[in-house]
A and B are shown apart, each in its own frame.
Chain A
Amino acid sequence: MARHSVIDDTAPLGVVIVGAGFIADHHGAALGASARARLAGIVDVDAGRASAAATAAGGVPWTTDLAEALARPDVGAAIVCTPNMTHEPIAQQIAAAGKHLLMEKPLTITVASARAVVDAFDAAGTVVMAAHTHRFYDYARAVDDAIAGGAVGRPVFARLALLGGWIWPDWRAWVLDPAKSGGHALHNGVHLLDLVSCWLRDEPVSVYARGRAQTAAELRIHDYLEMHVEYAGGANAVCEMSRGHRPSTLDRRDVLVAGTDGVLQLPADGWGSTVVTESGTSLLHPQAANGFAVQLDAWLDAIADPAARRAMTPADAVRAVALGVATELSIERGEPVTLDEVMEGARA
């Protein structure tokens, strides 16, 4: 396949950030710290938000027109942080412009559109990666390193819980609209579904999920998700994602992996330091590598050498979407849903 690289190997890659919400700040900071890429501009449908973000980033160019940004010769790539339902058309536009893409998770909110996006980047010969940032955090890499080193033998059972309190805005938040976010399984559940699949080194075959509108009965998404994944090799995983736990000052990150030769644990109370003050108890997170920066490097590696083994492949991104879709479907039906069904349904 022809390589349509738009950069030479010495100049930093010009990257525009599309969608100036809160997660864009993390990507912007990673770009700011990178010698291999630079923030070339901000795109947002809201001119006020775009200009404010551009000013905060030191006066980079901004626009409300993605096509205009993509037409710039000094822009080689985009990091997209827009609401989930916009991912597909924006990704297609970036592929058509021949640029590289780091897409905030989920890649898209349907399996068919995720596949179409991957196909479009294949055809363009550019790199698309979904930002499953948890893969790049120290805790996830510690677990992965241990498993890769054979510490537990063949991993057969994994538990991953990310439990926190409410972090979203009010009822107007797009995340709370399943038509816009795809539901919580697509929005946040995919983080865990992707990570345990990566740890277990096995292919998921079915999902049994239960969801709960914990914070308010009127929620149309499930702020608490419990997802069981069964794998082709016989392994099992139980993932919990919550924005309905209390108090929000004490988030829980719990990992348990049992393997044929041992057990690995990151207990909930092994994560951070507990701070008890007059105003309550909170958690002090440990100093850690910036997962967004590590992820940026992985994406830049893929752009520099598309043939090299990737930290997160396009197929991984499609699989995560399929797992998220299967989760939402399983909650709706109250029964397990096979990956074959959601993958085949997407082909039909």
Chain B
Amino acid sequence: MSERTLGVLLLGFAGLGPDQDHQQDMYLPAFEAHPGFDVVAKATDLTDSALADPAVDVVSVCVAPDRRADAVVAALRAGKHVLVDKPLALTAADAARVAAVAAETGRVCLPAHHQRFHPMIAAARGAVAGGKVGLPWNVQADFLVAGGTPSPAGELANFAVYPLDVVLALTGLRVRRVFARLSTYWSDGGADDFALLFLTHENGLTSTISVGRTRELADTRPAGLAVHRYRVSGSHGVLDLDASRPAVVLRRAEASSSTWHGAGTVDRLLDELHAAVAAGRPSSPSAADAVHIAEIVDAVRTSAVSGTPVDLPQEGSR
């Protein structure tokens, strides 16, 4: 069963911005390179005939974010498993709608929070869960991209899901309170390009996340991560994670660069997709995880406007 090749429909080639096409740039090459998947169809938009194709097991959804939730729901209802580009939905309400259908149909609905599969982060998740630093009580995170095309939807919508997912995956603790500031420092447009998130989690753990997009930097490829790191402080130790590692650093006449060997984060994301489908279990991260992240992002917007902390509804109270 686990060796079965899954047929993939690539649905939509849109993103948060004019030149963001994760389908073409990230998922297509990863599906093609993965032995467990076979790309059998492509479609720019949702059609009943595409979803009716029995050769399609998995739909990779990259339709425009405002229609994304509807597309995922349709694919799940058609009995397909879904990989969905981030953000899964633009609001918590839409994300919850998707998660409910995923639970109802029992199909896999994997939000593409691929940074948690980074080799440093995956190892740290295991270490923290195993008690290496004791009981964690604080996480500090920086996720700063340099250069590339600013997202017209703002970098909170575009990027915050990544470090949020990592912090939640590292700690396993849901967020209860959100204080946030949104700024525009580098972008010429009006959209936010820097967010500061101050989160209070279950068990009193606090976390702080800076996330945004600076101007281009010589040592960072366009739209690459200039700073990507996490510090987990615990009752019995501290874990410092620099996600620019592991790296072989190359220094030449031009700007420095680095390289590493092995599967990338999107490749590992597809490993999880395949394993979840094969085992008939929900994926990790799940649609429910995306709902919580969407709730946090909604609260960030509310707090940024009000200037005061926002309490999230407790789990199960929705």
Contact = CB atoms under 8 A, between A and B. Distances in A.
B217 A156 contact: no
Given A157-B194, A236-B181, A263-B227, A336 B308 contact: yes
A55 interface: no
Interface residues of B, number: 35
Given A246-B238, A263-B227, A334-B309, A240 B206 contact: no
Interface in B242-296: 242
A159 B186 contact: no
Contacts of B206: 210, 212, 226
A256 B200 contact: no
A236 to B, nearest CB: 6
A265 B242 CA distance: 13
A340 interface: no
A269 B240 contact: yes
A258 B144 contact: yes
A156 B200 contact: no
B183 A234 contact: yes
A214 interface: yes
Nearest to B181: A236
A224 B231 CA distance: 14
Interface string A207-223: 01010101000000000
Nearest to A224: B138
A258 B155 CA distance: 16
Contact of A156 (B138, B185, B235, B237): B185
Nearest to A209: B198
A85 interface: no
Contacts of B146: 263
Interface in A234-249: 234, 236, 238, 240, 242, 245-247
Contacts of B42: none
Given A212-B206, A335-B308, A159 B142 contact: yes
Nearest to B236: A246
Interface in B180-217: 181, 183, 185-186, 194, 196, 198, 200, 204, 206, 208, 210, 214-215, 217
B5 interface: no
B142 A256 contact: yes
A154 B240 CA distance: 28
A212 B210 contact: no
Nearest to A211: B206
Interface in B210-237: 210, 214-215, 217, 226-227, 231, 233, 235-237
A212 B144 contact: no
Contacts of A226: 138, 198, 206, 208
Contacts of B185: 156-157, 234, 258, 260
Contacts of A161: 140
Contact of A208 (B179, B183, B231, B235): B179
Contacts of B240: 268-269
A242 B137 CA distance: 13
Contacts of A250: 238
A328 interface: no
Given A159-B210, A263-B217, A246 B237 contact: yes
A209 to B, nearest CB: 10
A206 B308 CA distance: 12
A228 interface: yes
B215 A336 contact: no
B183 A156 contact: yes
Contacts of A256: 142, 227
Nearest to B179: A208
B31 to A, nearest CB: 34
Contacts of B172: none
B244 to A, nearest CB: 10
A32 interface: no
Contacts of B126: none
A212 B181 CA distance: 22
11 contacts: A156-B183, A156-B194, A157-B210, A210-B206, A238-B140, A242-B233, A246-B238, A252-B238, A263-B226, A263-B227, A265-B227
Given A212-B204, A238-B196, 19 more contacts: A156-B183, A157-B196, A159-B210, A206-B307, A210-B206, A228-B179, A234-B183, A238-B140, A238-B208, A240-B140, A242-B233, A246-B237, A256-B142, A258-B194, A258-B214, A260-B215, A263-B214, A265-B227, A336-B179
Interface pairs A-B: 8 shortest CB-CB: A156-B185, A210-B206, A236-B196, A208-B179, A335-B308, A263-B226, A258-B214, A236-B181
